[in-house]
């Protein structure tokens, strides 16, 4: 009986958030596709067209290299936007979080609902961004969809990890510090997340090759690179799958603990 009550309450929270998202579908699409669209347009269309295309390893186009990274960025950006930013306001001025924790659910389950709904939005974001990498580039994009199980596994793990990161960030950042999320978190992890270059190409900078391993976006980019562009060097599957799983477990634990403490305080 209790499990049925919990399941109904969890589904009710998801449905409530889904209805809000449907009403705000236009802003959702715009914030999802704008950043990747600009990067694809400039680096994969403008630069090659004017003869200033960037070099990529093993003769593949630069557009091929950045396809997986841009999908990974969309997943992480959406996870943070969908979970962290609303949480900052719910814990701040609106105090909407008080209504949510009154649901017949453990506090940890309310936090988990946030992560799951954020992950669902991240999956949608990945699906929205992926076509851009085919339609916009001036040159050929060598993407192969012959490893669907690995692709789906990486997208699901990456989306849940992004949602967990958003949960943790949203419970430790104060409303007056919202701008710091992008200046000291989103921008650094994006440029150091192997989005615009494979991790293997960092051999020339050994210290950076090791330092970026603390960034979960590295493993998301490498995982999608292995699934979508196998001609581009990438980490072995055991490495990026293991790292994403560890990041998911660690961020989930930290996020739920921080969420519970904020609610109880």
The confidence score (pLDDT) of residue 98 equals: 66
Supply the range of the domain harboring residue 75: 2-264
The confidence score (pLDDT) of residue 138 equals: 54
The confidence score (pLDDT) of residue 15 equals: 84
**Residues of the chain scoring pLDDT < 50:** none
Number of alpha carbons in the 13 Å side-chain half-sphere of residue 224: 31
Confidence (pTM): 0.88
Domain count, the chain: 1
Reported as a single tens digit per residue, the pLDDT across 104-136 is 778 888 888 889 989 998 998 888 887 777 776
The confidence score (pLDDT) of residue 74 equals: 87
Long-range pairs of 91-96 with CB within 8 A, sequence gap ≥ 24 = 91/170, 91/171, 91/175, 91/262, 92/174, 92/175, 93/175
Phi and psi of 65, rounded to 5°?
A: -65, -40
Cα(first)–Cα(last) distance of the chain, in Å? Answer: 30
Q: Any idea which residue has 């958030």 for tokens?
A: 17
The confidence score (pLDDT) of residue 96 equals: 65
Q: What is the dihedral of CA 121, 112, 101, 166, to 10 degrees?
A: -60
């Amino acid at each position: 009986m209790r499990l049925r009550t919990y399941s109904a309450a969890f589904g009710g929270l998801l449905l409530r958030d889904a209805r809000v998202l449907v009403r705000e579908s236009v802003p959702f699409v715009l914030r999802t596709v704008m950043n990747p669209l600009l990067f694809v347009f400039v680096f994969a269309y403008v630069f090659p067209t004017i003869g200033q295309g960037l070099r990529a390893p093993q003769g593949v186009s630069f557009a091929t290299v950045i396809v997986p990274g841009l999908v990974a960025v969309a997943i992480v950006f959406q996870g943070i936007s969908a979970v962290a930013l609303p949480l900052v306001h719910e814990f701040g001025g609106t105090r909407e979080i008080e209504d949510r924790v009154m649901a017949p659910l453990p506090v940890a389950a309310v936090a988990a609902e946030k992560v799951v709904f954020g992950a669902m939005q991240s999956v949608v974001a990945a699906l929205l961004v992926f076509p851009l990498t085919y339609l916009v580039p001036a040159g050929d994009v060598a993407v192969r969809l012959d490893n669907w199980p690995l692709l789906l596994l990486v997208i699901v793990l990456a989306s849940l990890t992004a949602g967990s990161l958003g949960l943790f960030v949203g419970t430790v950042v104060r409303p007056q510090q919202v701008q710091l999320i992008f200046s000291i978190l989103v921008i650094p992890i994006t440029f150091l997340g192997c989005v615009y270059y494979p991790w293997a190409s960092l051999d020339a900078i050994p210290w950076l090759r090791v330092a970026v391993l603390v960034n979960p976006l590295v493993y998301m980019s490498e995982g999608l690179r292995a699934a979508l562009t196998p001609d581009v060097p990438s980490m072995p599957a055991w490495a990026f799958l293991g790292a994403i799983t560890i990041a998911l477990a660690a961020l989930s634990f930290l996020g739920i603990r921080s969420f519970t403490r904020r609610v109880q305080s």
